[in-house]
Homo-oligomer: A and B are copies of this chain.
Amino acid sequence: MKEKLRLLIDDNSTPQGKMFDYAIQFLIIASLIAFAVETLPNNEPEVTAFLYVFEVFCVAIFTTEYLLRILIAKKPLKYIFSFYGIIDLFAILPFYLTKAFDLRALRAFRIFRIFRALKLIRYNKAMQRIHIAARLMKEEIVLFLIITGIFTYLTSCGIYFFENEAQPMVFSSIFHSLWWAIVTLTTVGYGDVYPITMGGKIFTFFVLIIGVGIVTVPAGLVSSAVSKAREIQEDREDTEVSLEN
């Protein structure tokens, strides 16, 4: 009995296992959309009522699934404190913690379960490659974050110095200038805050010339790391093949 359940829930190589996975994933996405619909202003009372029923239904299914997963786990405690175990708990906890409205957004984390489906063989390799690539560029990413952090801070100080007098309401402190700095350096540029003094514009001019270079660095790191990861994977496979022969 327990073994059958395990096949259904844990093993996604069998047709039933896949079906179960797809059903849960479909329910997760549906409940995410329902959560978004709930936030719409001027909902009809019928809609609100239906959404509540659907919510109860989802939580019931997710709770059953959670309990079943504990039941079939060889080491229940290990599952409970695993990454997925905690996510599964967080997906249902908010409902039980009364009407803790916004916490329900945490259900979105449940969507990470989609990766379970990805554990199928054909996706295994891409996941693994991204894992290798992430490790390869870990040190560069840390360096990049430190340099970007310093650069953003200095940019904020600079623009505060140039614009504070002309626009005291907008660049009222370095923290306010930080908002401008991040919106500019990521090239989002909402247009709610921008320099108007000659000095501020010239400063921004040079900041942008350097900033564009900085923003493109992660693309370069990712590209280089993924290429390397691909190579490493191929080497491993070659080694395995030559060991088998």
A interface list, Cβ under 8 A from B = 32, 35-37, 39-41, 102, 105, 108, 111-112, 114-115, 118, 122-123, 125-127, 129-130, 139-140, 142-143, 146, 149-150, 153-154, 156-158, 160-161, 164, 168, 172-175, 178-179, 182-184, 186-192, 194, 201, 204-205, 208-209, 211-213, 215-228, 230
Contacts and interface: CB of A to CB of B under 8 A. Distances in A.
A168 B41 CA distance: 9
A122 B140 CA distance: 11
A32 B159 CA distance: 16
B182 A209 contact: yes
A76 to B, nearest CB: 27
A172 to B, nearest CB: 5
A154 B226 contact: no
A25 to B, nearest CB: 11
Contacts of A178: 36, 205
Contacts of A143: 118, 123, 126-127, 130
Contacts of A174: 35-36, 39
A201 B227 CA distance: 36
A105 B183 CA distance: 21
A173 to B, nearest CB: 4
A222 B220 contact: yes
A237 B94 CA distance: 53
Given A172-B41, A174-B35, A218-B213, A125 B139 contact: yes
A186 B212 contact: yes
A178 B118 CA distance: 26
A188 B186 CA distance: 8
A204 B204 CA distance: 21
A220 B156 CA distance: 28
Given A108-B150, A191-B191, A220-B220, 18 more contacts: A39-B174, A41-B168, A102-B161, A111-B149, A182-B205, A186-B187, A186-B211, A186-B212, A187-B187, A187-B189, A212-B215, A215-B216, A216-B216, A217-B222, A219-B219, A219-B220, A220-B225, A224-B227
List the 5 closest A-B pairs by CB distance, nearest first. Answer: A220-B222, A126-B139, A191-B191, A220-B223, A216-B219
Nearest to A141: B213
Contacts of A160: 39
11 contacts: A36-B175, A39-B175, A105-B154, A111-B149, A112-B150, A186-B208, A186-B212, A189-B190, A213-B218, A219-B219, A221-B222
